[in-house]
Structure 1
Amino acid sequence: MRLNHLNLTVADVNEARKFLEKYFQLHTRASRGESFAVLSDEDGFVLTLMKSNAVNYPKTFHIGFVQENEEQVNLINQRLRDDGFEVGSPKRAHGWTFYVNAPGGFTIEVLCPAEKKDNSYL
């Protein structure tokens, strides 16, 4: 069994949707104005975004996008910086990683795991 669907409540559905499309290759499959969007990737993962006026995730909550190599992490980091997002440089932790606060009120981790064994790092 694998996780294939996640719903996030966000403050701005359209801005979050555009961000995820631009930097993480998700594609919008359906939307209802500013209140709801369905996105997916090439592997069949479905991410839904629902509008909420009170987005309040725990401090450590985040979603992650695992990359094939450190160069991909660096490339995404630089693209975000070039577009004006405040992101720290990637660091060596449980892999080569950095975090970014996404439009809509949630955090994303971009990561190349230290040891890749069937796409896991724990």
Structure 2
Amino acid sequence: MKINHLNLTVTDVRAAQRFLETYFGLVPVGARGDNFVVLFDDDRFVLTLMKGKEVSYPKTFHVGFPQKNEEAVNEMNRRLKEDGYEVTEPVHAHGYTFYVKAPGGYTIEVCY
């Protein structure tokens, strides 16, 4: 069985949407103003973003985006860093991975 969709509550829907489109290739397929957007990934997984005034995820909550190899992880890390995002350095842990705080109040893990 596959998971179909995930809803994230974020403080800024448009900023979160731009981030996910720019770095992870998600494609918007519907929206309701600045309060709600529906995004698809390459496998048609549905990620919805919903506006919330106060967003508080548990410290360890994150959303993972796998890459095709370690070089792709390093490239994503470099790109995010150059664009002004605070990223951790990639490490070999449960794979090759790093974390970045995404606009809107949640964390993303980029891994191989």
User: Does the TM-score normalized on the shorter chain lie above 0.5?
Assistant: yes
Aligned to 2:109: 109
Report how many aligned residue pairs link the two structures: 112
Q: Which runs of 4+ in 1 moved over 6 A?
A: none
After the TM superposition, which of the residue ranges 79-88 and 9-18 deviates more from structure 2?
79-88
Which TM-score applies when normalising by structure 2?
0.98
Q: Distance in 2 between matches of 1:107 and 1:59?
A: 9
Equivalent residue letter for 1:4: N
Counterpart check, 1:4 vs 2:4: yes
2:109 is aligned with 1:96: no
Unaligned ranges ≥5, structure 2: none
SS in 2 for 1:17: helix
- The amino acid of 1:12's aligned partner reads D
1:61 maps to which residue? 61
- Aligned twin of 1:118: none
TM-score (norm 1): 0.90
The share of aligned pairs that are identical, in percent, is 62
Residue 107 of structure 1 aligns to a residue whose secondary structure is: strand
Structure 1 portions without partners, runs of 5+: 113-122
Displacement after TM superposition at 1:4 (Å):
2.1
Superposed counterparts of 1:1-122, under 5 Å: 1-112=1-112
RMSD: 0.6
